[in-house]
Chain A
Amino acid sequence: MNPKTDLPQGTLDLLILKIAALGPAHGYAIAQRLEQVSQHVVQVPQGSLYPALHRLENRGLLAADWKESETGREAKFYRLTRKGRAQLETEAASWERLTQAVGLILSLSGGAE
């Protein structure tokens, strides 16, 4: 297993929004999906997942309903709101720009040495 890297600051919210965009999910499912899609590369601190979910709900980016889960028990399902979708788009775009820029800088050959 590769050594896991910490999640860069502020990206947890973006990832949660992205996953919620795929369809309503409860907290555990979100945690699992985070782990799956990041292919175990990124360390998702589960302890900060729930505060992040509550914060996003509080800001109106996520909405929550209590529904029956696949195992038949009631679970809190989070889904993306319209405001959340807009936020996701802007944040994803700015993330894209950032990574491009960082990539560009890193691919510069030679130079300072």
Chain B
Amino acid sequence: MSWWHRLLRRKKMEEQLEKELKFHLERHEADLISSGVHPDEARRRARLTLGGPEQVKEECRDARGTRWLEDAWQDFRYALRTLRQKPGFAAVALLTLALGIGSTTGMFTLVNGVLLEPLPYPEPSSLVVVHGQSSEWNAELFGQQNVAYQDFLDAQRSARSLDMAAALFNGGTLSEPGEPEYVDFREISPDLFLVLRVPLSQGRAFTPEEDKIGGAPVTILGYSFWLRHFGGAPDALGSSLRLDGKRYSIVGVAKEGFRLFGQEADLYIPVGQNPARFLHNRAAHPMHVVARLRPGVTLSQAQAELSLIGRQLAEAYKDTNAGRTFLVQPFRPDVGDVRPILWLLLGAVGLVLLIACANVASLLLARAVSRERELAMRVALGATRSRLVRQCLTESAVLGLSGGVLGVLLASLGIRPFIAFWPGALPRAEEVQLDWHVLLFAAGVSILSGLLFGLAPALRAPFKNLEQTLRAGMRSIAGGSRRLHSVFVVSEIALAIILLVAAGMLGRTLLHLSSLDPGLDIHNVLVTRMALSPSALADPAKTRAAWKDILDRARHIPGVQSVANVDTFPMREGDNEQAYSTTPDQVPVNKLPFALMTCASADYLKVMGILLRRGRFFDDHDDPKSTQVIVIDEVLAQNAFGSQDPIGKRLWIPEMGYSSNAFEIVGVVGHVRHWGFAADDQAKVRAQIYYPFSQLPDSFLRRWSELMSLAVRTEIPPLSLVAPMRSELKGASNDQVLYEVHTMEQLASDSLAQQRFLLLLFGIFAALALLLACIGIYGVLAYLTGQRVQEMGVRIALGARPADVMWLVLRQSLGMIFLGVILGGAAALACGRILQRLVQGMQPSTASAFATMIPLLVFAALIASFLPARRASRIDPVIALRQE
């Protein structure tokens, strides 16, 4: 019989015990009678030999091994009763705990979903990613390199340790069905879904025949795309769509919510059909490669095999593959820079939870002191120390767990609004949910906090001076607990200081960052990506003409002041970085400095309001036949030429891919905060080079046209121009689209969104901490002065003035505040370092944060202590003394 079984059948076991003992007594009695003893004497003797029946029963119950549980149940009911007796105390404690545990649980839910959960594919542990690795590649600067398509094919064919699949990120214009629209698609190897073990929701995957040049054009729809464009109708299979002028028949629909590298694509097409040159060039590395280890194969075995294949390829294709190999890494979700932020926030709510615990602990302690007599009585009646400690702990565990239940409720309600409120898109937000990990965490946190705030009151259960406690009556002595109380208040203040100073530092940082000069005029600028008509991309002359037409048309739309096309612009993702040199010598690229490359048309400077420091920007005379020109920013000018005048000097850009790598500098412009307000100062690549769109070689035009955006300076609110621009620029065959429309103001503001978001959260946490600390101080002082009413009465009766009494109380609280500020200040200094490491653009100037936040806290704390102090000063000595 297991212990829970025994517990459940407790009643039956009691009956059986009773029956067993009764049987024993009766048999003994009968035996004694038959040996001639008088029945009354027989009964007496039988009972005497067995011993007191209740005592025997009690010992038998102990022997059952379920005793602790029965006690726990008893303690539990007792705890509920005592909590019900003091609904005010219970409500405050529960609310405090619910807030603390709820916010911690909520934040952990995010951490769990975003950082801890494995990838949402079956058996994620056997999935790996394969990167390209080369001695010339600066992985620290650019991240891991992808793989050349032909290298992928060779490796896929010969690898025995893993099954590989590849995907190429691409985008294009969908012209049928419906209005023309930009779609995000992936060109994939046909076995991608197989390798990931994600079934399609409908239809079939691509066949190897379809993965060849000239294969039948087929496509698989993303689930959301299918819902959006086909209303989720099953007859989408077999119908067709037109992508970049080519008709594809639909053969399948991906699974709902299927994402690859964190994104849900609109369409999938077989990569093998793409005749593009870069897919046959081993020097271009566009493919993202995932692979599944075959059963029993370890990561290092797979790495060893791929290294070997890499060496063979390097032998066979010396020009392109020398020094190049493959790197196999575990497939982990890419969550960007969210990781430190999430841990930071979890730490911050952890502090709030600690404050909540300290608060509840001091409340409990106050109650425990007033229950001293009750506990002493129980000890006198034979309760053991461990039994009393257990009972006190049960009470706090009940409090903790009920707080936890409320907290989980709070977290489950709050988590979605919070994610919606997250600046930008929280990666893997769709995987954030309250699962059993979170529940386990919440239960752990609740029990732990229950222990944390319950232990101190429990351990001070009275054992020494039992008699004294009983005799002292209501006049219990608060001396011993005063120090414990102070510990809680001091730690609350210290924790609150940490959060307040952190909030203060974030506030300072935000102020500082917003006051920086972005290097451009962000007002009244509209930026939008622009997809040319596929027919215009066929031939370079047509492409140039199409862009000229677009710029001309856009310039004449009412409200447009100037317009330019540009490939990358500030404060938006996506950039192009190239190594540059001031000499024509051959230097390995990874030894050279890098600059941000921006390809723009003549009016770009005017549109963005960037200052021209020297020389000129581009004009119509810069064409493919004239001297190749560039314009540099002041950072590059300073880095490369110091105090010399850079105009007329030349830069060599070895990997530019133009027929000549030499470029003449014709102008110097102001530095633009390309990486946003916060990140630019620490960015690895800051120098900037502009090169004219009009000088792009023919071979670049197609690819660059796919990357181009329009930048427009407007005389009217920029967003009001979107509709007229759309209709004016849609092209003769109605297949040119604008997408990803922003204003520069939005982008600039988004670049500070993280800091603003953190400031807001820390502000809330700090305010909460301040409030809790004040409640704590108030509660503790009110309680301590309550304990000293008679003492105060005596003092007043002996001639103390109200001010003296007030000072007596305030002095006590000042001592605690002072100690708390010192400890908290030291901790805040350390936390400031962490913030500085984790938050971009964080200002180290902590002094002002300390200077504003500490007085704020001291002021609030003094107000909280003023009320009990005033009450103490108004004690009527007659009443106070009569209470005795």
Contact = CB atoms under 8 A, between A and B. Distances in A.
Contacts of B14: none
A47 B56 contact: yes
Interface in A30-86: 31, 45-48, 50-52, 54-55, 58, 66, 69, 71, 73-76
A27 interface: yes
Interface stretch (B22-30, B213-221, B613-621): B22-30
Contacts of A47: 50-52, 55-56, 59
B63 A54 contact: yes
Contacts of B49: 46
28 contacts: A26-B20, A27-B20, A28-B23, A28-B28, A31-B24, A46-B49, A46-B50, A47-B50, A47-B51, A47-B56, A47-B59, A48-B59, A50-B21, A51-B62, A51-B63, A52-B63, A54-B60, A54-B64, A55-B63, A58-B65, A66-B16, A71-B27, A71-B30, A74-B19, A74-B23, A75-B20, A75-B23, A76-B23
A5 to B, nearest CB: 17
The 9 A-B pairs of least Cβ separation, nearest first, read A47-B51, A51-B59, A54-B63, A55-B63, A28-B27, A28-B24, A54-B60, A51-B63, A76-B20
A30 to B, nearest CB: 10
A41 B56 CA distance: 24
Interface in B39-79: 49-52, 55-56, 59-60, 62-65
Contacts of B28: 28
A51 B60 contact: yes
User: What secondary structure prevails in chain B residues at the interface with A?
Assistant: helix
B interface residue count range (under 10 / 10 to 19 / 20 to 34 / 35 or more):
20 to 34
Interface residues of A, number: 21
Chain A CB within 10 Å, residue with most, of B16, B55, B56: B56
Contacts of B51: 45-47
A28 B712 CA distance: 103
Nearest to A44: B49
Interface in B491-530: none
A66 B16 CA distance: 9
Interface string B203-239: 0000000000000000000000000000000000000
A64 B183 CA distance: 76
Nearest to B58: A51
B132 to A, nearest CB: 64
A69 B27 CA distance: 11
A50 B59 contact: yes
A89 to B, nearest CB: 23
A58 to B, nearest CB: 5
A75 B19 CA distance: 8
Contacts of B63: 51-52, 54-55, 58
A27 B56 CA distance: 13
Contacts of B52: 47
Given A27-B23, A75-B23, 7 more contacts: A27-B24, A47-B56, A47-B59, A48-B59, A50-B56, A51-B59, A58-B64
A80 to B, nearest CB: 17
Contacts of A27: 20, 23-24
A50 B60 contact: yes
Nearest to A32: B31
A83 to B, nearest CB: 14
A73 B25 CA distance: 13
A48 to B, nearest CB: 7
Contacts of B62: 51
Nearest to A66: B16
A50 B27 contact: no
Q: Which residue, of A50, A55, A58, has the highest number of chain B Cβ atoms within 10 A? A: A50
A55 B66 CA distance: 12
Contacts of A48: 59
Contacts of B21: 50
Nearest to A76: B20
Residue among B20, B49, B60, B64 having the largest count of chain A Cβ atoms under 10 Å = B20
B56 A73 contact: no
Interface in A13-32: 26-28, 31
Interface in B1-21: 16, 19-21
Contacts of B59: 47-48, 50-51
Contacts of B60: 50-51, 54
A52 B27 CA distance: 20
Nearest to A31: B24
A41 to B, nearest CB: 17
A45 B51 CA distance: 9
B23 A26 contact: yes
Given A28-B28, A55-B63, A50 B20 contact: yes
Contacts of A54: 60, 63-64
Contacts of A66: 16
Interface in B290-326: none
A58 B65 CA distance: 7
Contacts of A71: 27, 30
Contacts of A45: 51
Nearest to B57: A50
Contacts of B50: 46-47
A17 to B, nearest CB: 15
A104 to B, nearest CB: 36
A73 B64 contact: no
Contacts of B56: 47, 50-51
A8 to B, nearest CB: 20
A19 B24 CA distance: 17
A65 to B, nearest CB: 11
A25 to B, nearest CB: 12
Nearest to A70: B27
Nearest to B20: A76
Contacts of B27: 28, 71
A55 B23 CA distance: 19
A31 B21 CA distance: 12
A82 to B, nearest CB: 17
